[in-house]
């Protein structure tokens, strides 16, 4: 009996034989996937790494990535059809970025996202972006300097930009899905644009010049209503979005000096708090923002050694932030009628009972929603010098 | 019918009971009265071996007595036979009162023993078994014509290696001496460290033909009587023709024959044995080998080095953690690498994955086969390195470096990452202070590699669970092998993964020594007395 079990165990090891084993050189490591809609078909483009070309020992001078494409009525079909032109099966476990074509986004992103969120091989921590004014295929065709794998360039650019310039927002798949499913918040996605001569971007020469002929750049946010793209925010609106969503890690604010010229404040700490409130059946939202800033640059005659002038700068910045936020909210309310700021969720949190009745007509409520903004700025440092260097020279 | 003795119930016949039970079955042959008969029997039994020296002399007044001296050339000290036996019998007692007493009388042997033998160890012998045993151990046999008994004169002396430096368990700080092949030297080395009268030794002779001397050594009152009893029982149960090395004994007394984990510790360092004895363990010394067995042996013991106790406790603790870490690497590194690269690609960071994939381009074998090739090559090199003559060592290391090295990568047989993993595994497996445990890891590594290749990390996990179950089921002389981890013992943690400072290690290991548990009475003495008046 015991012997039988042992033999059975050994056989199970020997005979089962690595049933879904895949060696590393059987994988098409896909770093970026682009989905476009061509009439009734999906065109899926996968940016696949050519390992030999990016290895430390140096390649033969070929392209570090290659584009594998497939067409099909559904995304899944298109991905499987890719094997017709690729010796290796697409492996999306290390996907960095998913690019959706603008035309597809206007029609709705819900259907193509289903496979990507359902399949176990996809992780949900990659960024989802929209190809602005172009197709995903075009963007995936551009070679990039510094990062030889374009998908890595996009991923890292978005990450760095998000951390240092508040107007860019990286949205990962899981966040996107949460937003799509939420009643109280509409989704936003970052736009990705190709600049320069796009048709030259595919060749190696693109990375051989100091200024690449074609480049990829992140742009402002795209606002969604349900799963359809309804319009693009401006830079100020994008900024206001990250302010309200408390996504700012560090950024630079440009303000006008009391008299003339400009000054920059570097935001060191940022905290925003959105609180919902329902008064007499009318929802209201209070936004409280606390900023700690550093004097980044001064291009105007002001004596910042005097506390009063710092206070004056604080006041000006407070007003500017408040204005940006108010204007942005108004513009979104008017233009898109989509609650991308998640005010609905704020009401849901504060007044769950009232939310139940408002939920269905929330869009109507949102258009007329009153938002009170309160900004509190504190300048805590002035950098390594006190007054402007130019100021000293004048004395 | 063969008894020629003139007197029955000879008072000189002080029969000693047979020392080993294995001889009981044989009929004990008594010594003959005639010297020539005795010599003939000895010669006949030994087949006239050339190393048996028989010297016939005449002693007593006017040479009235015929006597014979028999010894084995090479095992006995020839100069002292001449100085202390032949000279004293033939010259020194001449013209003395003793000489006149040397006539045929019943007290002759005692007279000689008391007055003429100028050596330390003299015993009576009446049968051939004992006689031959002593003769082949290097003692000198003295027989007189007309007597059916003789004398065994202790005169063992042979060339041995002497006490040299330990080569298997080296330390930077600590005593350098190691055991030698001589049992008596070895017991002396331990006695020199522990001068406690409670350090007891029990002798056994094991091996029907080799008649190997074995000593069970323990400190009475610290070592558990039950475990000592168990050791006795197991040793007495051995019925084999030859014991040549401690490994023979180990195999015959160990608990788990089907396990690849050692349940008996061996060392060639006297300080390790002394420390083990003080912990209540039992040492088994075997004549003819410098390796001494220590029981009970626990899993953690194989990760402890003698030096751990001579260095600072904090450094030792870190090094010990490093050893357990290395053990894990040596056991699992190739397996985890195989699992990650063939099943769990998403676990590898993207940049590393691409780099690994680039290295694998053009490698013809699956990762498992690749790992197997490298591991087996390494095992072959290691085995060759141990067995081959030292003179060709450098030649082999050059060739070896080619086989497991960049040449193998350049040839496109294996990937560079695999070379690194295998090399790291090899180095990590040498960190384990005991060779035995290193061997175990070597075997188990291949098992885990197979599991990883079939089932990925799932297989490794199942393998680890089985390993832990197996380890917990083992026992060494009644003590759970994994103690003090499982069963958990809080006091035992002072010397497991970390070593506490000596002044905090106040107790001996609980399960090993249950009787006299305290090592030191109070620990306050470790620190200087606080100044008074504070």
In this prediction, residue A303 carries a pLDDT of 82
Same domain (yes/no): A208, A289: no
d(CA A340, CA A64): 38
Strand ranges for A102-250 from DSSP E:
127-131, 188-196, 214-225, 228-232
Residue of A nearest to B460 (CA): A13
The pLDDT of residue B48 is above 90 = no
Residues paired with residue B208 on neighbouring β-strands, in sequence order: none
Same domain (yes/no): A242, A326: yes
Q: In the block, which residue shows the tokens 């609905």?
A: A344
For residue B285, give Cα distances in angstroms to A268, B164, B199: 73, 17, 14
Q: pLDDT (tens digit, 9 = 90+) per residue, B12-39?
A: 444 444 444 444 444 568 888 888 888 9
In a domain, A298, yes or no: yes
Residue of A nearest to B366 (CA): A23
In this prediction, residue B12 carries a pLDDT of 43
CB contact under 8 A, B360 and A24: yes
Confidence of residue A329 (pLDDT cuts 50, 70, 90): very high
In a domain, A6, yes or no: no
Q: Considering only the beta carbons, identify the residue of B350, B358, B450 that sits closest to A55.
A: B358
Same domain (yes/no): A203, A252: no
Confidence of residue B455 (pLDDT cuts 50, 70, 90): confident
Same domain (yes/no): A144, A201: yes
Q: Could you give the residue ranges of the DSSP H alpha helices within B456-506?
A: 457-473
In a domain, A371, yes or no: yes
Token duo for residue A357:
């009745």
Asked which of A198, A232, A266 is the last residue of a domain, the reply is A232
CB contact under 8 A, B358 and A29: no
Q: Could you give the residue ranges of the DSSP H alpha helices within B172-259?
A: 183-193, 225-237, 246-253
A262-276, B87-101, B144-158, B203-217: the lowest-pLDDT one: B87-101
d(CA A227, CA B37): 116
Q: pLDDT (tens digit, 9 = 90+) per residue, A115-135?
A: 888 888 888 889 999 999 889
Q: Which helix (H) or strand (E) holds A159?
A: helix A150-164
Q: Considering only the beta carbons, identify the residue of B342, B346, B350 that sits closest to A18.
A: B342
Q: In the block, which residue shows the tokens 């969120």?
A: A117
d(CA A312, CA A218): 34
Q: Chain B closest CA to A219's CA: distance in Å? A: 26
Confidence of residue B524 (pLDDT cuts 50, 70, 90): low
d(CA B236, CA B41): 31
Residue A3 forms contact with B (CB below 8 Å):
no
The pLDDT of residue A19 is above 80 = no
Burial of residue A107, with CB atoms counted within 10 A of its CB: 0-12 exposed, 13-18 middle, 19 or more buried:
middle
Q: What is the largest CA-CA distance in chain B?
A: 104
In a domain, A3, yes or no: no
CB contact under 8 A, B358 and A52: yes
Burial of residue B285, with CB atoms counted within 10 A of its CB: 0-12 exposed, 13-18 middle, 19 or more buried:
buried
B221 three-class SS:
coil
Q: Chain B closest CA to A217's CA: distance in Å? A: 22
d(CA B334, CA B511): 36
Token duo for residue B375:
């591991």
In this prediction, residue B320 carries a pLDDT of 94
Confidence of residue A101 (pLDDT cuts 50, 70, 90): very high
In this prediction, residue B301 carries a pLDDT of 92
Identify all chain A residues contacting B409, using CB atoms and an 8 Å cutoff. none
In this prediction, residue B219 carries a pLDDT of 93
Mean pLDDT confidence for A205-212:
85
Greater model confidence, A310 or B16: A310
CB contact under 8 A, B358 and A13: no
In a domain, A1, yes or no: no
In this prediction, residue B148 carries a pLDDT of 85
Q: Which residues contact B298 (CB under 8 A, 6 or more apart)?
A: B476, B479, B481, B482, B483, B509
- b/e burial code for range B300-338 (CB count within 10 A of at least 16 → b): bbbbbbbbbbebebeebbebbeebeebbebbbbbbbbbb
Give the rounded percent of residues in chain B with a pLDDT score beyond 90.
39
Check if the beta carbon of residue A229 is closer than 8 Å to that of residue A223: yes
Greater model confidence, B533 or A291: A291
Token duo for residue B358:
């680039």
B40 three-class SS:
helix
In this prediction, residue A70 carries a pLDDT of 92
Residue B460 forms contact with A (CB below 8 Å):
no
Token duo for residue B261:
């984990």
Q: Could you give the residue ranges of the DSSP H alpha helices within B61-160?
A: 78-80, 87, 97-101, 108-111, 128-137
Nearest to B71 by CA among B152, B130, B4, B127: B152
Q: Chain B closest CA to A98's CA: distance in Å? A: 16
Residue of A nearest to B451 (CA): A13
Task: Quote the mean pLDDT of chain B.
Answer: 85
d(CA A29, CA B350): 9
Q: Chain A closest CA to B485's CA: distance in Å? A: 28
Q: Which helix (H) or strand (E) holds A105?
A: helix A102-107
Cis previous bond, B34, omega within 30:
no
Q: Chain B closest CA to A147's CA: distance in Å? A: 12
Residue A110 forms contact with B (CB below 8 Å):
no
Same domain (yes/no): A202, A257: no
Same domain (yes/no): A226, A86: yes
> What's the structural domain count of chain A?
2
| B168 C-beta neighbours (distance < 10 Å), count | 14
Which pTM value belongs to this model? 0.83
Q: pLDDT (tens digit, 9 = 90+) per residue, B323-359?
A: 999 999 999 999 999 999 999 998 999 889 988 998 8
d(CA B285, CA B436): 18
Mean pLDDT confidence for A216-222:
90
Identify all chain B residues contacting A54, using CB atoms and an 8 Å cutoff. 354, 358
Phi, psi of A223 (to 5 degrees): -95, 140
In this prediction, residue B532 carries a pLDDT of 64
In a domain, A196, yes or no: yes
Identify all chain B residues contacting A152, using CB atoms and an 8 Å cutoff. 350
> First and final CA of chain B: distance in angstroms?
93
Tell me which residues of chain A, numbers 10 to 69, contact chain B at a CB-CB cutoff of 8 Å: 13-14, 16-18, 20-25, 27, 29, 31, 49, 51-52, 54-57
Identify all chain B residues contacting A153, using CB atoms and an 8 Å cutoff. none
Mean pLDDT confidence for B174-192:
92
Same domain (yes/no): A177, A309: no
Q: Which helix (H) or strand (E) holds A91?
A: strand A89-91
**Domain membership of residue A342 as a residue range:** 235-395
CB contact under 8 A, B345 and A24: yes
A237-246, B102-111, B220-229, B475-484: the lowest-pLDDT one: B102-111
Asked which of A180, A214, A232 is the last residue of a domain, the reply is A232
Mean pLDDT confidence for A196-209:
84
Q: Considering only the beta carbons, identify the residue of A13, A24, A121 that sits closest to B357.
A: A24
Q: Considering only the beta carbons, identify the residue of B353, B360, B454 that sits closest to A23.
A: B360
Token duo for residue A101:
């074509």
In this prediction, residue A391 carries a pLDDT of 60
Greater model confidence, B2 or B401: B401
Mean pLDDT confidence for B205-232:
92
Q: Which helix (H) or strand (E) holds B386?
A: helix B367-387
CA A326-A329-A331 angle, to 5 degrees, is 105
Same domain (yes/no): A130, A82: yes
Confidence of residue B8 (pLDDT cuts 50, 70, 90): very low
Q: Which residues contact B109 (CB under 8 A, 6 or more apart)?
A: B12, B124, B144, B147, B149, B150, B151
In a domain, A17, yes or no: no
Confidence of residue B322 (pLDDT cuts 50, 70, 90): very high
Q: Chain B closest CA to A152's CA: distance in Å? A: 10
d(CA B229, CA B236): 10
For residue B485, give Cα distances in angstroms to A99, B298, B478, B482: 53, 10, 16, 6
Token duo for residue A262:
């400009």
Residue of A nearest to B348 (CA): A94
List the CATH number of the domain containing A274. 3.30.300.210
Greater model confidence, A8 or B140: B140
Q: Considering only the beta carbons, identify the residue of A13, A17, A24 that sits closest to B451.
A: A13
Same domain (yes/no): A170, A107: yes
Asked which of A210, A232, A254 is the last residue of a domain, the reply is A232
CB contact under 8 A, A13 and B450: yes
d(CA B424, CA B432): 14
Q: Chain B closest CA to A87's CA: distance in Å? A: 13
d(CA B355, CA B506): 53
Same domain (yes/no): A255, A395: yes
Nearest to B53 by CA among B36, B70, B37: B70
Identify all chain B residues contacting A25, using CB atoms and an 8 Å cutoff. 357, 360-363
Check if the beta carbon of residue A129 is closer than 8 Å to that of residue A101: no
In this prediction, residue B18 carries a pLDDT of 45
Q: pLDDT (tens digit, 9 = 90+) per residue, B251-278?
A: 999 998 889 999 999 999 999 999 999 9
Identify all chain A residues contacting B341, using CB atoms and an 8 Å cutoff. 23-24
In this prediction, residue B4 carries a pLDDT of 44
Task: Quote the mean pLDDT of chain A.
Answer: 87
CB contact under 8 A, B346 and A18: no
Q: Which residues contact A103 (CB under 8 A, 6 or more apart)?
A: A36, A37, A135
Token duo for residue B302:
């194989």
CB contact under 8 A, B358 and A20: no
d(CA A332, CA A153): 31
Q: For residue B494, what is the DSSP state?
A: G
In a domain, A13, yes or no: no
Same domain (yes/no): A108, A256: no
Mean pLDDT confidence for B363-383:
89
In this prediction, residue B530 carries a pLDDT of 65
The pLDDT of residue A240 is above 50 = yes
In this prediction, residue B28 carries a pLDDT of 67
CB contact under 8 A, A57 and B357: no
Residue B374 forms contact with A (CB below 8 Å):
no
Q: pLDDT (tens digit, 9 = 90+) per residue, A168-192?
A: 889 999 999 999 988 888 999 999 9
Same domain (yes/no): A302, A385: yes
Q: pLDDT (tens digit, 9 = 90+) per residue, A21-70?
A: 888 888 899 999 999 998 889 999 999 998 888 877 667 778 889 999 99
């Amino acid at each position: 009996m015991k012997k039988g079990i042992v033999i059975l165990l050994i056989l199970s090891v020997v005979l089962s034989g690595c049933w879904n084993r895949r060696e590393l050189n059987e994988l098409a490591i896909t770093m970026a996937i682009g989905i476009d809609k061509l009439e009734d078909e999906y065109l899926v483009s996968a940016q696949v790494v050519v390992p030999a070309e990016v290895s430390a020992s140096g390649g033969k001078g070929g392209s570090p990535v290659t584009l594998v494409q497939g067409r099909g009525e559904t995304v899944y079909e298109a991905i499987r059809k890719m094997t017709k032109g690729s010796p290796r099966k697409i492996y999306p476990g290390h996907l960095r970025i998913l690019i959706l074509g603008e035309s597809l986004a206007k029609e709705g992103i819900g259907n193509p996202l289903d496979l990507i969120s359902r399949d176990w091989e996809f992780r949900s921590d990659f960024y989802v972006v929209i190809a602005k004014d172009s197709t995903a295929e075009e963007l995936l065709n551009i070679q990039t300097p510094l990062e030889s794998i374009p998908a890595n360039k996009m991923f890292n650019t978005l990450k760095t930009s998000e951390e240092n310039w508040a107007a860019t927002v990286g949205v990962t798949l899981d966040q996107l899905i949460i937003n799509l499913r939420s009643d109280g918040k509409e989704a936003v996605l970052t736009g990705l644009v190709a600049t320069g001569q796009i048709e030259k971007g595919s060749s190696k020469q693109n990375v051989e010049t100091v200024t690449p002929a074609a480049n990829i750049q992140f742009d402002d946010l795209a606002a969604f209503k349900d799963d359809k793209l309804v319009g693009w925010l401006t830079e100020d609106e994008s900024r206001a979005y990250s302010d309200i969503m408390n996504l700012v890690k560090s950024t630079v604010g440009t303000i006008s000096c009391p008299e003339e010229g400009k000054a920059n404040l570097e935001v060191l700490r940022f905290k925003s708090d959105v609180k919902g409130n329902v008064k007499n059946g009318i929802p209201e939202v209070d936004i409280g923002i606390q900023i700690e800033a550093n004097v980044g640059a001064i291009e105007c005659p002001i004596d910042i050694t005097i506390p009063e002038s710092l206070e004056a700068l604080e006041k000006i910045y407070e007003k500017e932030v408040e204005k940006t936020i108010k204007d942005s909210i108004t513009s979104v309310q008017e233009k898109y009628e989509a609650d991308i700021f998640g005010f609905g969720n704020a009401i849901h949190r504060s007044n769950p009972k009232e939310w139940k009745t408002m939920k269905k007509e929330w869009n109507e409520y949102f258009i007329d929603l009153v938002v009170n903004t309160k900004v509190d700025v504190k300048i805590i440092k002035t950098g390594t010098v006190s007054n402007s260097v130019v100021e000293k020279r004048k004395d | 019918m063969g008894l020629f003795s003139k007197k029955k119930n000879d008072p000189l016949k002080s029969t000693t009971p047979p020392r080993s039970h294995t001889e009981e079955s044989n009929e004990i042959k008594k010594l003959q009265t005639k010297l020539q008969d005795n010599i003939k029997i000895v010669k006949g039994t030994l087949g006239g071996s050339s190393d048996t020296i028989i010297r016939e002399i005449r002693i007593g007044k006017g040479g009235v007595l015929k006597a014979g001296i028999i010894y084995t050339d090479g095992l006995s000290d020839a100069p002292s036979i001449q100085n202390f036996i032949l000279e004293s019998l033939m010259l020194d007692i001449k013209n003395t009162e003793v000489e006149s007493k040397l006539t045929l009388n019943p007290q002759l042997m005692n007279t000689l023993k008391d007055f003429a033998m100028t050596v330390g160890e003299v015993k009576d012998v009446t049968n051939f078994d004992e006689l031959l045993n002593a003769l082949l151990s290097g003692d000198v046999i003295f027989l007189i014509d007309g007597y059916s008994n003789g004398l065994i004169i202790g005169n063992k002396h042979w060339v041995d290696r002497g006490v040299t430096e330990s080569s298997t368990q080296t330390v930077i700080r600590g005593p350098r001496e190691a055991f030698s092949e001589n049992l008596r030297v070895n017991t002396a080395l331990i006695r020199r460290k522990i001068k406690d009268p409670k350090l007891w030794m029990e002798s056994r002779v094991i091996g029907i033909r080799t008649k190997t001397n074995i000593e069970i050594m323990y400190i009475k009152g610290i070592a558990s009587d039950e475990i000592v009893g168990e050791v006795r029982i197991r040793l007495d149960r051995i019925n084999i023709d030859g014991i040549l090395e401690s490994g023979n004994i180990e195999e015959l007394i160990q608990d788990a024959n089907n396990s690849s984990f050692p349940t008996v510790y061996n060392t060639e360092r006297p300080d390790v044995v002394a420390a083990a004895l003080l912990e209540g363990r039992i040492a088994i010394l075997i004549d003819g080998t410098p390796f001494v067995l220590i029981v009970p042996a626990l899993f953690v013991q194989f990760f402890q080095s003698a030096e751990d106790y001579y260095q600072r406790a904090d450094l030792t603790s870190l090094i010990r953690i490093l050893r357990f870490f290395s053990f894990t690497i040596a056991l699992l590194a190739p397996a985890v690498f195989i699992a990650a690269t063939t099943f769990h690609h998403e676990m590898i960071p993207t940049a590393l994955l691409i780099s690994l994939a680039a290295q694998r381009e053009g490698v013809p074998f699956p990762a498992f086969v690749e790992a197997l090739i490298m591991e087996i090559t390494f095992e072959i090199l290691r085995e060759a390195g141990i067995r081959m003559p030292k003179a060709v060592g450098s030649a082999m290391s050059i060739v070896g470096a080619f086989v497991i090295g960049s040449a193998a990568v350049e040839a496109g047989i294996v990937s560079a990452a695999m070379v690194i993993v295998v090399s790291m595994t090899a180095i990590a497996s040498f960190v384990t202070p005991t060779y035995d445990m290193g061997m175990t890891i070597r075997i188990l590594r291949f098992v885990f590699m197979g599991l990883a290749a079939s089932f990925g990390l799932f297989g490794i996990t199942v393998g680890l669970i089985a390993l832990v179950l197996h380890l917990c089921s083992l026992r060494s002389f009644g003590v759970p092998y994994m103690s003090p981890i499982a069963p958990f013992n809080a006091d035992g943690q002072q010397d497991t993964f970390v070593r506490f400072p000596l002044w905090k290690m106040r107790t001996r290991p609980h399960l090993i020594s249950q009787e006299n548990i305290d090592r030191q009475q109070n620990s306050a003495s470790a620190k200087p007395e606080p100044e008074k008046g504070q």
